[in-house]
Structure 1
């Protein structure tokens, strides 16, 4: 009987220690992940709204949660645009985006914050297509001239720029869906369009 109790106590201690280690690891990892996500969002806020439109943003909160951001130019009091986050389930994951929009509904930029779509298909929403060749890349690498680094956006999200958010659609003359990934493409477009229109209709609330 004593032996059984001894083993039970040892097993309890082992489980307790293991649970404590897992809890500590989860807490540490969760904090790091949250910091990374916050950094990505901060960078996205800068990328989706050019300074020519606005250079000052103010969060609009409801219940302590940021719903969207108002964009201002300089010290002006008039709203120049808006930034908002949208998300919708795609083919195999939730796709979250950050969107910049002028006050008239013109899209200034789109950035995918997170996605876990199928590699080679839906994941192409974040694929950057380069027209550089091996030779041109080598020439640039060994050139003495300094070339300014230009931020390159994925082809799919770049299609949204300068389009009226109320009129975006998957078509040959508007937004081209990614081949073999229509579901992912439509999820991004629908989430952006619905959130953008809702914001334009209720921006004074």
Structure 2
């Protein structure tokens, strides 16, 4: 019995769909370890850049606190790397997430010194449009360096916006959503650190996911 052309075409499409799904699953499985390794290398390199080794004497990669405040930090689980010198707090580096990127979440590292100034901001991963939103990468432009040494007092809180919205930070031509979202995320991270500063450095809180001032009633 000769099959109808529509049935044949449908069968061929189904075969391609199965093959495509299998290929995607295989590619993801094959590359996930490499992606994780690349993100870790970016993390280590950025930690050394934003918190210079001569300013701390502890291993920040093992002095970690996990906190839970998706409203301020964009993710339910946020790692906080603590830098100390002779036991005294120097800086924290938070793995904040920008949930409102143009093409999806953007993973950030935000270094906040104990005095509340920014040691820097770096992008770990993103899916922003090449040639537009990817200018958030330090290899693409120097825009990300505009956060260096800023604080909630410099600029004033109301100026933590892109220039199009009346703030001081540049936006990208044709891609305002990406920088706007990152500026807002960095501001929220600074506010979170300000409200939880001492709890974030508390060694006893190393296994406590919610520092003082962030606990739910």
TM exceeding 0.5: yes
Match of 1:72 in 2: 84
Residue 61 of structure 1: SS of its match in structure 2?
strand
Match of 1:51 in 2: 53
Describe the superposition over 1:99-153 as per-residue Cα deviations: whole angstroms up to 9, x where unpaired.
1111121011111111111122111112546xxxxxxxxxxxxxxxxxxxxxxxx
CA distance in 1, matches of 2:33, 2:109: 22
Match of 2:6 in 1: none
Q: Gaps (5+ residues) in structure 2?
A: 1-18, 69-76, 200-210, 212-217
Match of 2:161 in 1: 169
Residue 147 of structure 2: SS of its match in structure 1?
coil
CA distance in 1, matches of 2:173, 2:25: 43
CA spacing shift, 1:62–1:87, aligned 2, 3 Å? closer
Superposition pairs of residues 11-160 of structure 1, within 5 angstroms:
26-56=28-58, 57=60, 58-61=63-66, 67-73=79-85, 76-88=86-98, 89-126=100-137, 128=139, 154-160=141-147
TM-score (norm 2): 0.63
TM-score (norm 1): 0.66
CA drift of 1:77 comes to 1.4
Q: Gaps (5+ residues) in structure 1?
A: 1-17, 130-153
Moved more, 81-90 or 158-167: 158-167
Instruction: Kindly report structure 1 stretches of 4+ aligned residues shifted beyond 4 Å.
Output: 18-26
Residue 131 of structure 2: SS of its match in structure 1?
coil
CA drift of 1:38 comes to 1.9
Residue 159 of structure 1: SS of its match in structure 2?
helix
CA distance in 1, matches of 2:190, 2:89: 15
CA spacing shift, 1:180–1:62, aligned 2, 3 Å? closer
Give the alignment's Cα RMSD to 1 decimal.
Answer: 3.0
CA drift of 1:98 comes to 0.6
